[in-house]
Amino acid sequence: MKALVYHGPGHRSLEDRAKPDLRAAGDAIVKITKTTICGTDLHILRGDVPTCAPGRTLGHEGVGVVDTTGTGVTAFRPGDRVLISCISACGKCAYCRRGMYSHCTTGGWILGHTIDGTQAEYVRIPHADTSLYPIPPRADEEGLVMLSDILPTGFECGVLNGKVEPGATVAIVGAGPIGLAALLTAQFYSPGDLIVIDLDDKRLDVARRLGATHTINSSDGRAAEKVRTLTADRGVDTAIEAVGVPATFLLCEDLVAPGGTIANIGVHGAKVDLHLERLWSANITITTRLVDTVTTPMLLKTVHSRKLDPARLITHRFRLDEILDAYKTFEHATSTGALKVIIEA
């Protein structure tokens, strides 16, 4: 079968690999119908993720059809159309029982990381019963690819951890795909002002189309000041960090109102300064989270009832044999305007 394989920093290729086999009673083999590329894949290709070894098939998102199942799998049968979660969860360990699938002792984020992933014709899914979700009849499969990772990430790490409430003021720092996923799902809770901050005017245009009530280009260094003006000098109830660098986290520290929350989504590569000399008395909460995908059933219901249209995040479409082009388009998002690219296998 064809697979996109990582060969160390800067190197990748689309090549022929053996179709995966079942290895444990709980495994399923899934034939991929659609997959996509994540910012994390780019991190791997830059060499930022040393736990991902050369030779690995990349990809942790996708939808497909169950091909074969192990003897312990009871929830799925060959032929079932399934959504693949980016997080594999055994459903049994202490973390899984608390809903912290991200820290599953035999799972977590392993697909396209420590085991072969979804940018291929077939993928082996461990713990299939608790890592796959049935695709409802008549669902738009393409849109559901957004539920593998990006929408639960924006929702769980940003919106739920950020405790977004009706009428509240929310700032989302970063209008990339993850920030926009937070923007879409924040609207489940009818916040009042929904401010999106980024350096790229084109992404801010998208944010306005997707529901932002205000957008701020932070390139002049005056974003915090502008938010103060918008909020009568109070700050925001929820600040969602969707970039992952010190400057954007610091901006969130400046934006958050007393009693508010900073919900971090960004993948950080360096420590940040936490200004406790100012914040110790501000009654704030800071949260971090690797997505658990425990809200996938809820998100599927919101898609089904048309409260959420995940396909709005899709900008480009490719075939699997064009995946190197897809990577280029995604890597040069500033010029291509790419948000999420669909790859049809």
Please give the residues from 238 up to 297 whose contact with a second copy meets the rule CB under 8 A.
244, 249, 258-259, 264, 266-277, 279-290, 292, 294, 297
* The residue type at 79: G
Segment interacting with a second copy, rule: CB under 8 A, options 50-58, 187-195, 196-204, 220-228:
187-195
Which residues ranging from 202 to 221 are in contact with a second copy (CB under 8 A)? 213
For residue 131, the minimal CB distance to a second copy (Å) is 10
Q: Note whether 191 binds a second copy by CB under 8 A.
A: yes
297 and 178 in contact (C-beta within 8 Å)? no
Report the distance separating Cα 345 and Cα 317, nearest Å. 11
H or E segment and range at residue 239: strand 236-241
Q: Which residues pair with 316 in a beta bridge?
A: 341
13, 51, 74, 229: which one contacts a second copy (CB under 8 A)? 74
Least distance (Å) between residue 270 CB and a second copy: 5
Q: How far is the CB of 121 from a second copy (least distance, A)?
A: 27
Contact 58, 116 (CB under 8 A): no
Report the residue number, 139 or 286, with the smaller CB distance to a second copy. 286
> Shortest gap between Cβ of 307 and a second copy (angstroms)?
4
Q: Which is nearer to a second copy, 78 or 167 (CB)?
A: 167
Out of 11, 23, 46, 98, the only residue in the binding site for a second copy (CB under 8 A) is 98
What lies within 8 Å, CB to CB, of 341 at 6+ separation is 36, 37, 314, 315, 316, 317, 318, 326, 329, 330
Can you tell me which of 107, 302, 323, 329 binds a second copy, judged by CB under 8 A?
302
Q: Which is nearer to a second copy, 51 or 334 (CB)?
A: 51
CA angle 254, 257, 259 (to 5 degrees): 130
* Closest distance to a second copy from the beta carbon of 147 (Å): 12
- Convert residues 9-48 into a mask of x (bound to a second copy by CB under 8 A) and - (unbound): ---------------xxx----------------------
Closest approach of a second copy to the CB of residue 283, in Å:
5
Question: Rounded to an integer, what distance in angstroms lies between the CA atom of residue 224 and that of residue 179?
Answer: 18
Q: What is the DSSP string of 61-116?
A: -EEEEEEEE-TT--S--TT-EEEEPSSB--S-SHHHHTT-GGG-TT-BS-BTTTB-
- Picking from 145, 153, 180, 175, the residue whose alpha carbon sits closest to that of residue 263 is 153
Smallest distance from the beta carbon of 221 to a second copy, in angstroms?
A: 19
Q: Are 251 and 272 in contact (CB under 8 A)?
A: no
Between residue 120 and residue 179, which ones bind a second copy under the rule CB under 8 A?
Answer: 129-130, 165-168
CA gap 273, 214 in Å, rounded: 27
Sole residue written with tokens 């079942």: 22
